[in-house]
C-alpha cells in the first residue's frame, strides 16, 4: 500500500500540475481584477522599488569619527577652548573676570536673591546660599538698621561680580574657521568615505571655504557663515554665547555609480526655543585660574566665560541592493494578487446576479456533480 503510494508519487512527481480555471464572461469583474493587478504591479514597481528603494538593504548604524581644528587669532583669548579635535568645539566670545579671590569671609553678592537678609535669622549658619557663592556664617551684613543687607558667607571672596555681560570682548571670532574631518564607515557594506575632497592639492584644502554649491567637499567653515546658515547673526550670539549643532548627513545609495554619497551639512541653533525660556538661552560656564603669592597663599581668578559651542553630529544611512528585501517585496506583490482574486471571487460568488451558477461551476461537488452530469448526459 505504502509502496503503491510511493510509486504513484514517483511517477506523477515530474508531471506538471496546474490549477484548472473557469472562465467567467463577466467583463466588470474581469476589469476590476485587471485594475487591481495593475495597481499592485504599479505599487510594487513604482512605490516600493523606484521611490522607496525596497530592493535595498539599509545600514543605519553609521560608524563615524570626527577630527576638528579651530583656526583663528584673538588677542585676549582668555580660556582654552576645551578638548581640541573632538566633535564639540567651544569658541570664547566674551567673559567676566572676578580677580584676586581668596578663601575667606565676605558679603554675598547682592545679585543673589537668596543671600538677601533683614536680620541674622535670615542667614542660617552652615547653610549654602541657594544659587550663591558660599556657606552662610549666620550674620547679616547691613549698612544701617533699616535697610536690607546680604548674608555674610565663607567662600571665595570677594563674591563673583554677577552683572549681565555687555558687548563681546572678543570680536574677531566671527572670522575664525573650523576644519572638520569626518570619516565614515558602513561596516555592513564595507564602505568608507571622508567629507574631505580627495586631492593632492594641499593648497586648495588650506584656502577653500565650504559652499553648498561650489565647494561641497571643502571641509573648512567660517564661524560667521555657520551662524548665518543656522539663521542667526553672529553678533546675536557673541555677547551671551550660544550653542549650534553642525549636523553632517550622509544618505548613500551604493547601487549608483560613484555611490552618490555626499555629505550634507545642516546648521541649527540649539539654545533657543519658541517658548523663549531664558534658562536655556546663551551658553556660558565658569573656570578658574589659581595662583600663589610669595607667602604661599592661594588666590584665584574666576572667569565666567561666554561663547559658542559647536556640536558636530553625524547621521547617515546607506542602501545597497540585497536579494532578500527584493524577494520579499516581489513575493508580497504576488501574494497580494492572490488576495485580489479572493476579493473578486467574493463579488462573483455572493454579489453578482448569476452567483448560484458561478458557485456551481467553481465548486465541483462530489457525487451530486456526477449525478448531475449523468443526468445531463441522459437528457441529451
Minimum Å distance from CB 325 to a copy of itself? 9
Cβ 314 to a copy of itself shortest distance, Å: 9
Bridge partners, 263 (sequence order): 250
Give the residue with the Cβ less far from a copy of itself, 258 or 278: 278
Nearest to residue 62, comparing CAs of 254, 237, 245, 210? 254
Nearer to a copy of itself, 214 or 294 (CB): 294
| Cell numbers standing for residue 351 | 454579489
Q: How far is the CB of 145 from a copy of itself (least distance, A)?
A: 29
CB nearer a copy of itself, residue 143 or residue 347: 347
Minimum CB–partner distance for residue 144 and a copy of itself (Å): 28
The answer to whether the peptide bond before residue 158 is cis (omega within 30 degrees of 0) is yes
Q: Which is nearer to a copy of itself, 232 or 285 (CB)?
A: 285
Tell the residue number behind the cell numbers 561666554, with chain if given.
306
Instruction: Tell me which residue of 283, 276, 298 sits closest to 244, measured CA to CA.
Output: 283
- Residue 272 — φ and ψ, nearest 5°? -130, 160
- Kindly tell me which of 8 and 211 has the beta carbon lying closer to a copy of itself: 8
Instruction: Give yes or no for a contact between 80 and 211, defined as CB atoms under 8 angstroms apart.
Output: no
Q: Which is nearer to a copy of itself, 15 or 146 (CB)?
A: 15
Question: Minimal distance in Å, beta carbon 225 to a copy of itself?
Answer: 17
Least distance in Å: CB of 359 to a copy of itself? 8
Residue 239 CB, shortest distance to a copy of itself, in Å, is: 17
Cell matching residue 87: 566633535
d(CA 376, CA 380): 6
Number of C-beta neighbours around residue 129 at 10 A? 22
CB of 313 to a copy of itself, least distance (A): 6
Q: How many CB atoms lie within 10 A of CB 248?
A: 21
CB of 283 to a copy of itself, least distance (A): 6
Quickly list DSSP for 93-107. Answer: EEEEEEEEEEEEEEE
**Of residues 138 and 333, the one with the C-beta less far from a copy of itself:** 333
Determine contact, residues 240/284, Cβ cutoff 8 Å: yes
Is 54 or 144 the residue whose CB approaches a copy of itself more closely?
A: 54
The set of cell numbers assigned to 194 is 571622508
Residue 141 vs 184, nearer CB to a copy of itself: 184
Burial of 22 (0-12, 13-18, 19+ CB in 10 A): exposed
**Nearest in space to 311 (alpha carbons), one of 228, 248, 218:** 248
Residue among 90, 291, 318, 74 nearest 185 (CA): 318
Amino acid at each position: 500500500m505504502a509502496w503503491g503510494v510511493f510509486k504513484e508519487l514517483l511517477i506523477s512527481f515530474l508531471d506538471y500540475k496546474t490549477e484548472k480555471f473557469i472562465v467567467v464572461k463577466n467583463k466588470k469583474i474581469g476589469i476590476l481584477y485587471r485594475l487591481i493587478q495593475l495597481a499592485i504591479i504599479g505599487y510594487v514597481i513604482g512605490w516600493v522599488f523606484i521611490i522607496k528603494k525596497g530592493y535595498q538593504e539599509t545600514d543605519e548604524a553609521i560608524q563615524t569619527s570626527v577630527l576638528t581644528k579651530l583656526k583663528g587669532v584673538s588677542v585676549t583669548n582668555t580660556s582654552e577652548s576645551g578638548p581640541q579635535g573632538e566633535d564639540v568645539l567651544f569658541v570664547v566670545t566674551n567673559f567676566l573676570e572676578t580677580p584676586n579671590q581668596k578663601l575667606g569671609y565676605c558679603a554675598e553678592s547682592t545679585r543673589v536673591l537668596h543671600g538677601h537678609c533683614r536680620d541674622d535669622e535670615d542667614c542660617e549658619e552652615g547653610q549654602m546660599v541657594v544659587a550663591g557663592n558660599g556657606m552662610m556664617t549666620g550674620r547679616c551684613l547691613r549698612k544701617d538698621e533699616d535697610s536690607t543687607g546680604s548674608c555674610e558667607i565663607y567662600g571665595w571672596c570677594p563674591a563673583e561680580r554677577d552683572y549681565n555681560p555687555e558687548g563681546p570682548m572678543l570680536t574677531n571670532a566671527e572670522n575664525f574657521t573650523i576644519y572638520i574631518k569626518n570619516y565614515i564607515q558602513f561596516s555592513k557594506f564595507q564602505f568608507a568615505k571622508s567629507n574631505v575632497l580627495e586631492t593632492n592639492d594641499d593648497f586648495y584644502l588650506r584656502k577653500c571655504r565650504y559652499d553648498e554649491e561650489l565647494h561641497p567637499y571643502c571641509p573648512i567653515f567660517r564661524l560667521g557663515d555657520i551662524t548665518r546658515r543656522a539663521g542667526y547673526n553672529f553678533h546675536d550670539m557673541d555677547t551671551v554665547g550660544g550653542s549650534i549643532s553642525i549636523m553632517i548627513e550622509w544618505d548613500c545609495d551604493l547601487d549608483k555609480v560613484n555611490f552618490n554619497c555626499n555629505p550634507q551639512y545642516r546648521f541649527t541653533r540649539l539654545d533657543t526655543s519658541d517658548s523663549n525660556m531664558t534658562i536655556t538661552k546663551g551658553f556660558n560656564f565658569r573656570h578658574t585660574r589659581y595662583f600663589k603669592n610669595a607667602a604661599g597663599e592661594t588666590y584665584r581668578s574666576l572667569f565666567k566665560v561666554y561663547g559658542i559651542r559647536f556640536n558636530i553630529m553625524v547621521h547617515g544611512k546607506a542602501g545597497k541592493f540585497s536579494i532578500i528585501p527584493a524577494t520579499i517585496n516581489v513575493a508580497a506583490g504576488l501574494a497580494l494578487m492572490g488576495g485580489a482574486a479572493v476579493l473578486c471571487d467574493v463579488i462573483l460568488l455572493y454579489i453578482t446576479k448569476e452567483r448560484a451558477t458561478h458557485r456551481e461551476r467553481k465548486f465541483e461537488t462530489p457525487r451530486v456533480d456526477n449525478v448531475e452530469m449523468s443526468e445531463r448526459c441522459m437528457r441529451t
